[in-house]
Amino acid sequence: MKLSAIPPLNPNPDPAMPIIQRQEITKLLSRIGDGEIAPVYLLVGERYLCRETAGQLITALLPEEEERPARLTVIDGEREDPARTLAGLRTYSLFGGRRVHQVVDSRLLFSKTVAKTLWEKAEKAAETEKKEAARLLLAMLGLAGLTPADWRQEQIAGLAAGAWQKLFGFTKPADTSWAEAILAEIDDQPVAAPAGAGDAAEAYIAALEKGLPPGNILLLLAETADRRKKLYKYLEKNAVIIDLSVDAGSSAPARREQKELLADLARRTLAGFGKKLAADALEPLLERIGFHPVAVVMETEKLALYVGERTTVDRDDVDAMVGRTREEAIFELSEAYSSGKLEQGLLLLERLQQGGMHPLAILGGLRNHLRKLLLTRAVIDGAATAFNPGTPFPAFQKNYLPRLKEERERGRGWPAAFAGHPYALYQLCLQAARLPPARLRGMLADLLRAEARLKGSGLPAATVMSALFLGGANHR
């Protein structure tokens, strides 16, 4: 059966088939239900959305749930053998009916032009999702035929800008240290090259031109795609392409699109549990998680289970259950500031500001954290049992913390600032033990001066904040 024999979604198609947007998926599913089936569907964009939409397509294409496992083949695109995939696609079913072959994380449409996108996504994921960052870095290395061992042995991070550009096809970033740290933890493994530099793509085109057996359907899921590639241009004319990309930038339109998407995911997830989100709970939920669709779904599911029989998730539930990602970032920033890690501190500072956090809010977070460190230092200095920074967390939790609580409750009471998980207090004690009170007070004075400059000097905020960290050397 030729591709042209499949009824197109548009009865009078242009040379390129119309690309389906996220808002049009419901209509597409309705058309599939009416029998308008394409032999190939290409889903390109945000990874979670691709997987979610693929699940909806599979349900529509294979409506008989009990038969679905036998009629669905899922292939890991990162380790795909294209010849084996095509052999399956060209095989006639003994029992007739539809069969769906889904290639997840396909690399067929990768090229060096997408290496920069992979790097940028990995850098963003590195802040909260190190496994995802590692996966993206491995994909980028695969474009150049490299392994993590090659990265280390060839000292790729130290390459000159021109050599980096030649290897990966984009300008060398100013900071590669975060990638260095992630790749150092990955055991060496072979990294699949992207689709055989055209051979696999040509094989796919040849197989699709010849025609697939009736009922065989291919789903390709790709985070990013080089639209100049021959296979993409072929699919534009002969397949259904679903664009699930989301602008991950920090511009107002991009942030608005991100918020709308995440809010929709949160509401739909709760609706699946028969629950809804209170009006004042959405903002803190999204602010704490950031643009991480998978995390939004997971945290929302956790909230749905947490509220039990109640039908509404409110602000108190969010406060109780959802991690404060920006507070964690402030903790890292204050540690970099107090430890004299200038480069790391400036990088964290830049990321927080790019994420939309106002400089005064950053100063407020640093000030609150430094005050908590002063209180922690006073508590551990005044305790009958000295705190040993070499104490592992299990011993801290089992032995030191109960003794400290008992001692405090006999005297001034347990500070409200110490409420929370024992591990957070353990980290506070470790950091406070390294910092003399005079140094902490000096840093607080610097914060006060920086705040006065932000409010009255007319200097650019970025200059004031950078000067704060540069001036921190006086207290080291």
pLDDT of the residue at 102: 95
pLDDT of the residue at 406: 84
Q: Which residues of 403-419 are buried (b: 16+ CB within 10 A; e: fewer)?
A: ebeebbeeeeeeeeebe
Asked if the model's pLDDT at residue 7 lies above 50, the reply is no
**Its pTM surpasses 0.75:** no
Handedness of CA 317, 322, 326, 330 (dihedral sign): positive
Region 367-387 average pLDDT: 86
pLDDT of the residue at 12: 38
Torsion of CA 260, 263, 265, 266, to 10 degrees: 180
What is the distance between the terminal CA atoms of the chain, rounded to a whole angstrom? 74
Region 400-426 average pLDDT: 78
Burial of 102 (0-12, 13-18, 19+ CB in 10 A): buried
**222, β-bridge pairs:** 44
293 vs 276: CA distance, rounded Å: 18
Asked if the model's pLDDT at residue 196 lies above 80, the reply is no
Region 393-406 average pLDDT: 86
Weakest-pLDDT range from 192-201, 346-355, 388-397, 449-458: 192-201
The one-letter amino acid code at 163 reads A
Asked if the model's pLDDT at residue 174 lies above 80, the reply is no
- Closest-CA residue to 138 (of 197, 198, 74, 193): 193
Which own/partner pairs from 454-460 qualify as long-range (CB within 8 Å, at least 24 positions apart)?
A: 454/359, 454/360, 454/363, 455/360
**Could you count the other beta carbons within 10 Å of the beta carbon of residue 81?**
11
Half-sphere exposure of 89 (CA within 13 A, CB side): 28
61: three-class secondary structure by DSSP: helix
Give φ, ψ of 36 to 5 degrees. Answer: -85, 95
Q: Give the orientation angle of helix 325-338 with respect to helix 422-433, to 10 degrees.
A: 20
Asked if the model's pLDDT at residue 205 lies above 70, the reply is yes
pLDDT of the residue at 263: 92
222: three-class secondary structure by DSSP: strand
Asked if the model's pLDDT at residue 356 lies above 70, the reply is no
271 vs 346: CA distance, rounded Å: 42
**Could you count the other beta carbons within 10 Å of the beta carbon of residue 299?**
20
H helices within 109-245, ranges in order? Answer: 115-125, 130-143, 148-153, 161-168, 177-184, 199-210, 230-238
Name every residue whose Cβ is closer than 8 Å to that of residue 209 and which is 6 or more positions away in sequence.
3
Give φ, ψ of 72 to 5 degrees. Answer: -115, 125
- Closest-CA residue to 150 (of 188, 195, 97, 101): 188
Strand extents, DSSP E, 182-239: 216-222
pLDDT of the residue at 328: 63
User: Strands 240-244, 216-222: parallel, antiparallel or unpaired by DSSP?
Assistant: unpaired
Q: Please give the mean pLDDT across all residues of the chain.
A: 82
